[in-house]
Structure 1
Amino acid sequence: MLRQKTEPGLSATERYGPTHSLKSILSKLVVSSLVDPVSKPLNEGTAAATLRPRHPFRIPALLQPQRPIRPLPDVLISQIAAGEVIERPASALRELLDNAIDSGASALTVRLEQGGLGSVQVEDDGCGIPAEELPLALLRHATSKIADLDELHHAAHLGFRGEALAAMAAVAEIEIISRRAGADGARIHASAGQVSAVQPTAAQQGTRVTLRQLFFNLPARRKFLKSPQTEYAWCADVFKRTAIAHPQIALRLWHDGQLKLQFERDPSPHGLDRLAAVLGEAFSAHALPVSTQIGPLAVRGLICKPTAARARADVQHIIVNNRWVRDRTVAHGVRAAYADVLHGALQPQYALLLDLPSELVDVNVHPAKSEVRFRDSSAVHQAVRHAVEQVLARAGGEASASHPSAPPAAWEQPPSALPTTAAFAFGVARPSPSPIPWDALSRAYAPLATADAPPLQAQDSAAPRPYAQATDLAAAQPDDFPLGFALAQLLGIYILAQNRHGLVIVDMHAAHERIVYERLKAAEQADAPVAVQPLLIPAAFAASDAEMGAAEDHADALRSLGVELDRAGPSSLVVRATPTLLAHADPIRLARGLLADLISQGTSSRLQERRNALLSSLACHGAVRANRQLTLAEMNGLLRDMERTERADQCNHGRPTWRQIGLADLDALFLRGR
């Protein structure tokens, strides 16, 4: 507050005038604080002419006389409730769509004017409302959907509080026209809480609700609404979410007289066609189907391959019992399933529909019903993660030795819960017989040098073998080689291979990184010690103070990863052993990479939580590097290992490990067939 210089010793009367009540003194003090701070000091003659308060002064409520406690008017109560339930036209549209779906409608039509700022209309072919119940529909907390607490706990309807229509009637003009089967149509109108009498009218079976001029009596609220284009975008999102959650209902969206969106009923049992139609071709091109039943929970929908990840989390849809929600439990479960194949800054795309008994989920936890609470959130998290991991593993190759997360112990999974889909096995359909001399080509096969990848200790028959044996390759059938046979190495980075579909290009570092990582995880999950190979000549390197401290503080963690580091001097470390699996890796590069991760992870408890991240770093630094020349046999051995490895489509950071270029694409490059 700006303070004016005054002569000392002035009384309140001399300073503020004869009327020096608390209100007048506060007024003058506040007005003086609103004067432009660069103005010249005021004097007695120019004060009245110079003061230009920027805001009207209002006495704070605490300084006003105490008011008696009294009940609020019903209209004010409804307006307050509307502030929680109805935020914008899209909020009103969501509530109207929920009511229409609860009526048993099979077709819905939405009409918007000016993005919903002008009007929002929803018409359905549901059961309709009897004429005598229309006034009750506009009363607060009047509903036909629940009658007691037990029904609330088992609520199967989208709406159940009976407050949405009353809230809308308090802040907008609303008209309801409805007709029951075998009865006459009726109409009722309400505006700013004033409800008209019911009038007969011609109408089709069902209900049509029209909302006009939202917040017309609350200009402060209406002022915060955005442009018609922005409000329409919000409404379109609500419409699409409803279409995803209810594939059995046909929906149409009109805006300013133009048909914008239309979705027909989806006859498929799981609604996957509707998902593809709503989310578009860009999503569908990378989509993988999810369909599993784990105990009482059914999980279905579509998830995208990790290579289709986005920078924004704007294509993530969670539907719980036909209700679109935001839920951290499910979202975290999905994210955990993608953890090994997705960079931390990217977001997966998915649309998952969860169905479970209504008594296992509480929908009455959010004013807008956009959040739910699961009775056993841990089981739901584990089930979702398990379902998504299974699909990602199948999409990444044949999981002959899979180690996905287990389903919840309390929920046993049927053996046939996750059907295998040939179209998504390793990203391409399984090859069919052809006259190519596969037996002759397979004789060129040989495993990578055993020094590159010796087996882990305590490795059982179910664990991934280090490299394919030549005898196995000779006996293998053509169908066992989806990645085909190596032809050459390009620039020391890529492997060129041929399969029945055309040309396969493999990023050898990314592919080897995934293979090594999965083997390290397999040993970790089996509680098997990592095989260690002492270095014939220990590798010493200069280390920073932070690296010296990390090596000393986390010596046990490093040994558990197969890396032995000792102090060689005041500012140097020496690597004495590395994992046998990474025998040909640069030991100094490997040690520096692990130390950098240990420094960033911090405490030992944090390290335990980030164990897989450290294994990923170990695999990345130990994988075959660019410009290393491989023999044809080594390249073929790497391809075979990819086919046996889970999630082989992506490296640990989400980059693709291989790409297929079809014969038709190659022909098009050279204009063949024209």
Structure 2
Amino acid sequence: MASARQIRLLPPELQNQIAAGEVVERPASVLKELIENALDAGATRLRVLIRDGGQSCIRVSDNGCGIPENELELAVTRHATSKLSTIEDLSAIRSFGFRGEALPSIASVSRFRLASATHDGEGSALEVLHGRVVAIGPAAMPRGTEVEVQDLFANVPARLKFLKQPATETRKCGDLFVRIALANLDVDFELLNGERTVHRFLAGEDLPRRLSAIWPRELVDSAHHVDMADGPFSVRGLIGDPATAQARGDRILVYVNGRPVQDRTMISAVREAYRGRILGKEYPQAVLFLQLPPDEVDVNVHPAKTEVRFQDEGTVFRLVRRAVAKALEACTDVPPLTENAAHFSVSRSLPVLPVAPPQERAFADAPVPARPDSPLYEQPWPRKFSSSAAVQQLFETPAAPVPPEPTPQRSPDPAPQPEAALTRYLGQFADTYLILAGSTEITLIDQHAAHERVLFHMLRTSGSRGDRRPLLMPLEIPMHPSQALLVQEIWTQLDELGFSLELATEPKLLLHAVPALLTPSKAREFLEDALTDKASSMEDLWAVMACKAAIKAGDVLTPDEALALIESWQSLPDRNFCPHGRPVTLRWSVGDLEKQFKRRS
């Protein structure tokens, strides 16, 4: 049996080392606390020097308000702070620091020197070795504060061995430095690694300029601005174009009242806004600043202050999602097909389809009248032409070696489009991509992605009508017990889509009817994919069904089929991405092509 031990108060040095275990995880943690203290002191110029990844030396100099000589020792005492005085202040925190733990924690695991002056030339310096004050005296220095931390964790070997290689720790310090600099554009920042300047940011720079120091320039140039307010809540910043999405989520940077944080609510809202514009396994780029009243957020959640808790997470989520989604709507789009009905020769003459005025564009439920061997046979995508007679005339006109004169008996044209907006269909490339040419750019359309978007829109707007195709013999699908449970969870949604199912023993699934859009083999593939991806919402199921029912890469399209697909796709409000987030189009401007052919730099 264990013997009873006396309860006693821990010595201050041990208290500080325990606190350091929470606050000081690595050199970047030290750098964060020191920079934030400088900003709280009103600094407009910061100079940071690190050596050996910050383990041998971290020095932060600022031009802030300084610390009086009689408060230097108090500054390295636990729970001593100038930023809080009453318990009410804790619910309205506007400063970065407030716990009074950072400096004593850092001083307890390093050789620590704090020098500060409230006026030019009149300063004082304090030296601390592993938590014990060893010297204090006057120091001639300009107004501001300089903190130097040497031999970090030298007295705590267990912590020292967990540090990474100096190059890794240097990179983490640099990332932290830049992230803070992005939120304080009115402050001059400089970071040195030894004697070499790594980053230098001048006060007054805008966000894109500072962001270019860590992100590729072309990524920043294609970014979209975010700016939305809802009462006392506001969101601003930059987000990356969907085409630049990446496999890692390390370029989603979020801030709350200027404080860099790791917040799941904001990150989830960003990813939700990109849903359907990028692949599920991809991540966008974003630098977002959320401003809200201090009493609406609790920053006293974690000792390192990297986590926050919102009073109303739902409001924050909706605001961030709406702000990002609105910015994404600014993406450019493909102009409508040209009104000019002249033939345009590539390898053969192809007609150019007249465009219906907006009031005449309407979806029809009739299937496309294609040949039986067409890949679009029995595919019910919407068909919309301004004048069936005009279309019939165009497709019955034999190809000519030279462009014929426009037929004066054509049906009345809609209002003419400006020259920059004219687009012609040139043909199909690799039996997969549809080529459009305008006066200022050329566009490739992925036929599968475009048809996916058309079918998805049709499913979403028409509702769950459950149109079915009965099978003469039930189709059997063997299932794992876990899959059988998933099927039961989405049973109602599958019925609304048009499946008639029966769950038999063993277990196995019997299909008595499948949705009208799918063949039996595609219906089997649909169920397998839906269960593998654990699709549960109707949006997810519509996306999978649209993918299975759409034409595929390699399917040959006749000109009228291609034009019908293009015009159906062009009428959609959200046509730039397939339901799974892949881009539908790629575009090259005249300037892009001139660069490729080295006509200009």
TM-score after normalising by structure 1: 0.74
Q: Matches of 2:499 and 2:119 in 1, distance apart?
A: 77
Q: Matches of 1:450 and 1:627 in 2, distance apart?
A: 26
Deviation string 1:39-73 (CA, Å, 9 cap, x unpaired) is xxxxxxxxxxxxxxxxxxxxxxx75x533211111
**1:134–1:376: structure 2 CA closer, same or farther, 3 Å change rule?**
same
Higher strand share: 2
The answer to whether the aligner puts 1:444 opposite 2:444 as a matched pair is no
What's the counterpart of residue 519 of structure 2?
Answer: 587
What's the counterpart of residue 544 of structure 1?
Answer: 477
Q: 2:316 aligns with which of 374, 380, 383?
A: 380
Matched ranges for 1:173-184 at <5 A: 173-181=111-119, 184=122
Q: 2:551 aligns with which of 605, 614, 624?
A: 624
What's the counterpart of residue 475 of structure 1?
Answer: 414
Deviation at 1:203, TM superposition (A): 0.8
**1:612–1:663: structure 2 CA closer, same or farther, 3 Å change rule?**
same
Q: Secondary structure at the match of 2:238?
A: strand
**1:641–1:177: structure 2 CA closer, same or farther, 3 Å change rule?**
farther
What's the counterpart of residue 184 of structure 2?
Answer: 246
The answer to whether the aligner puts 1:130 opposite 2:68 as a matched pair is yes
Q: 1:530 aligns with which of 461, 465, 468?
A: 465
Deviation at 1:112, TM superposition (A): 0.6
Q: Matches of 2:217 and 2:242 in 1, distance apart?
A: 17
Deviation at 1:124, TM superposition (A): 0.9
Kept after mapping to 1: 8 A contact 2:153/2:160: yes
Q: Matches of 2:266 and 2:305 in 1, distance apart?
A: 16
Q: Matches of 1:642 and 1:178 in 2, distance apart?
A: 66
**1:486–1:563: structure 2 CA closer, same or farther, 3 Å change rule?**
farther
Q: Matches of 1:218 and 1:307 in 2, distance apart?
A: 47
The answer to whether the aligner puts 1:224 opposite 2:140 as a matched pair is no
What's the counterpart of residue 514 of structure 1?
Answer: 453
**1:102–1:389: structure 2 CA closer, same or farther, 3 Å change rule?**
same
Q: Matches of 1:327 and 1:256 in 2, distance apart?
A: 33
Deviation at 1:138, TM superposition (A): 1.2
What's the counterpart of residue 149 of structure 2?
Answer: 211
The answer to whether the aligner puts 1:147 opposite 2:85 as a matched pair is yes
Deviation string 1:171-229 (CA, Å, 9 cap, x unpaired) is 11111121114671221111122224542221111111111111122222222222211
Deviation string 1:326-369 (CA, Å, 9 cap, x unpaired) is 11111111222223233332222222111111110000000100
Q: 2:6 aligns with which of 68, 77, 82?
A: 68
Greater CA deviation, 548-557 or 292-301? 548-557
What is the identity, as a one-letter code, of the residue corresponding to 1:445?
P
Deviation at 1:88, TM superposition (A): 1.2
Deviation at 1:540, TM superposition (A): 5.5
Matched ranges for 1:409-420 at <5 A: none
| Structure 1 stretches lacking a partner, 5+ long | 1-61, 396-423, 455-464
**1:498–1:198: structure 2 CA closer, same or farther, 3 Å change rule?**
same
Matched ranges for 1:145-294 at <5 A: 145-181=83-119, 184-268=122-206, 271-281=207-217, 283-294=219-230
Deviation at 1:546, TM superposition (A): 3.1
Deviation string 1:49-108 (CA, Å, 9 cap, x unpaired) is xxxxxxxxxxxxx75x53321111111111111111111111100000110111111121
Q: 2:257 aligns with which of 321, 343, 348?
A: 321
**1:510–1:437: structure 2 CA closer, same or farther, 3 Å change rule?**
closer
What is the identity, as a one-letter code, of the residue corresponding to 1:425?
T
Kept after mapping to 1: 8 A contact 2:227/2:234: yes
The answer to whether the aligner puts 1:356 opposite 2:292 as a matched pair is yes
Q: 2:56 aligns with which of 91, 94, 118?
A: 118
Q: Secondary structure at the match of 1:262?
A: strand
Kept after mapping to 2: 8 A contact 1:330/1:384: yes
Q: 1:484 aligns with which of 404, 412, 423?
A: 423
Q: Matches of 1:179 and 1:251 in 2, distance apart?
A: 20
**1:93–1:337: structure 2 CA closer, same or farther, 3 Å change rule?**
same
Kept after mapping to 1: 8 A contact 2:352/2:425: no
The answer to whether the aligner puts 1:596 opposite 2:520 as a matched pair is no
What's the counterpart of residue 342 of structure 1?
Answer: 278
The answer to whether the aligner puts 1:652 opposite 2:579 as a matched pair is yes
Kept after mapping to 2: 8 A contact 1:110/1:252: yes
The answer to whether the aligner puts 1:303 opposite 2:219 as a matched pair is no
Q: Matches of 2:598 and 2:305 in 1, distance apart?
A: 57
Matched ranges for 1:452-471 at <5 A: 452=367, 466-470=382-386
Q: Secondary structure at the match of 1:283?
A: helix
Q: Matches of 2:193 and 2:127 in 1, distance apart?
A: 23
Kept after mapping to 1: 8 A contact 2:338/2:352: no
Deviation string 1:556-615 (CA, Å, 9 cap, x unpaired) is 4233124456899x986443652xxx4xxx42244223322454477xxx83xx221111
Q: Secondary structure at the match of 1:475?
A: coil
Q: Secondary structure at the match of 1:253?
A: strand
Higher alpha-carbon Rg: 1
CA RMSD of aligned residues (A): 3.4
Q: 2:332 aligns with which of 397, 407, 425?
A: 425
**1:277–1:256: structure 2 CA closer, same or farther, 3 Å change rule?**
closer
Kept after mapping to 2: 8 A contact 1:510/1:657: yes
Q: Matches of 2:271 and 2:486 in 1, distance apart?
A: 31
Deviation string 1:458-486 (CA, Å, 9 cap, x unpaired) is xxxxxxx9455426994255359868221
What is the identity, as a one-letter code, of the residue corresponding to 1:496?
I
| Structure 2 stretches lacking a partner, 5+ long | 343-350, 357-362, 370-380, 388-410
Q: Secondary structure at the match of 2:332?
A: helix
Q: Matches of 1:662 and 1:341 in 2, distance apart?
A: 22
**1:153–1:390: structure 2 CA closer, same or farther, 3 Å change rule?**
same
Kept after mapping to 2: 8 A contact 1:597/1:614: no
**1:185–1:551: structure 2 CA closer, same or farther, 3 Å change rule?**
closer
Matched ranges for 1:629-644 at <5 A: 629-644=556-571
Q: Matches of 1:276 and 1:452 in 2, distance apart?
A: 50
Deviation string 1:237-257 (CA, Å, 9 cap, x unpaired) is 111111122222121100111
Greater CA deviation, 300-309 or 494-503? 300-309
Kept after mapping to 1: 8 A contact 2:444/2:585: yes
Deviation at 1:437, TM superposition (A): 7.7
**1:148–1:467: structure 2 CA closer, same or farther, 3 Å change rule?**
farther
Deviation at 1:119, TM superposition (A): 0.6
Q: Matches of 1:163 and 1:576 in 2, distance apart?
A: 65
What's the counterpart of residue 84 of structure 1?
Answer: 22
**1:207–1:617: structure 2 CA closer, same or farther, 3 Å change rule?**
same
Deviation at 1:513, TM superposition (A): 0.8
Deviation string 1:364-416 (CA, Å, 9 cap, x unpaired) is 00010000000001111122122222233x14xxxxxxxxxxxxxxxxxxxxx
Q: Secondary structure at the match of 2:431?
A: coil
**1:199–1:387: structure 2 CA closer, same or farther, 3 Å change rule?**
same
Kept after mapping to 1: 8 A contact 2:384/2:568: yes
Q: Secondary structure at the match of 1:530?
A: coil
What is the identity, as a one-letter code, of the residue corresponding to 2:430?
L
